[in-house]
Amino acid sequence: AKRRRRKSMPVLALNLSVVMVLAGGTAAYGALSQTVTLEVDGKRDTVRTFGGTVADVLDDHGVVVRDGDRLNHRPTDPISDGDTIDVAYARPVRLTVDGVATEKVVFEPTVGRALASLGVAPPAGSYVSATSGKAVPRTGMKLVVSTPKNVTVVADGQAKTLTTTRPTVADVLDEAGVTLDSDDEIQPGADAFVAPGEKLRVVRIEKVQKTETVKIKHDTQVKEDPEALAGETEVVTPGKNGKSRE
């Protein structure tokens, strides 16, 4: 039997055409796209983009920049192949260190790095309200740092000085073994943060219920008598003073 080979030529030509189309598309993709480095909060990625500006790259990768955030380019800046776009989110922090509170803005994603950026290096054994690796949310957070300090507690006629890292007055009183009830007064307040060398005072308030008997004067009721003479009065029933317990 004779073999027909004419059909193989169109197939081969078609395959070559497909390869050429794919190669051409890849070349076009490489020519139109650009490679940039996108770093967001310390996380770095190399990305390809068809965008022409920094804002285009950020939009393509879901990066939302808010007021106060740090960006190494203007959003409208054009990009070139090999550029680096660096974004650092702003995070408000209320920082209290040994009783002194301040409002700060940090650009670091974790508590440890945020404290380091603020120049706060708690010594060993200090109290820190969050672990070093805890993420600082973009909405912000409160951070409390309490380093070892001497504090004097005055209660029940005795003064006791102790070294503590407890952050609040209530915490220090608990460490000192001072029990409180709802009527006691604490100076400063129980929720106040403790400063080095501070003196804490506990004033005991004792409420006593006392019952006392007091005299009550009787009332006088006047009734008119149409048969009585003018100016004449008569005591019908003598009044009697009473007593009351208060």
pLDDT on residue 27:
47
pLDDT on residue 164:
97
Asked whether residue 152 carries a pLDDT value surpassing 90, the answer given is: yes
Q: If pLDDT is split at 50, 70 and 90, which confidence band does 231 have?
A: low
45-100, pLDDT tens digit by residue? 999 999 899 999 999 999 999 999 999 999 999 999 999 999 999 999 999 999 99
pLDDT on residue 208:
75
Percent of the chain at pLDDT above 70?
A: 81
pLDDT on residue 10:
53
7-27, pLDDT tens digit by residue? 445 544 545 454 444 444 444
Average pLDDT estimate for 93-114: 97
DSSP string, 41-52: TTEEEEEEE--S
Asked whether residue 209 carries a pLDDT value surpassing 80, the answer given is: no
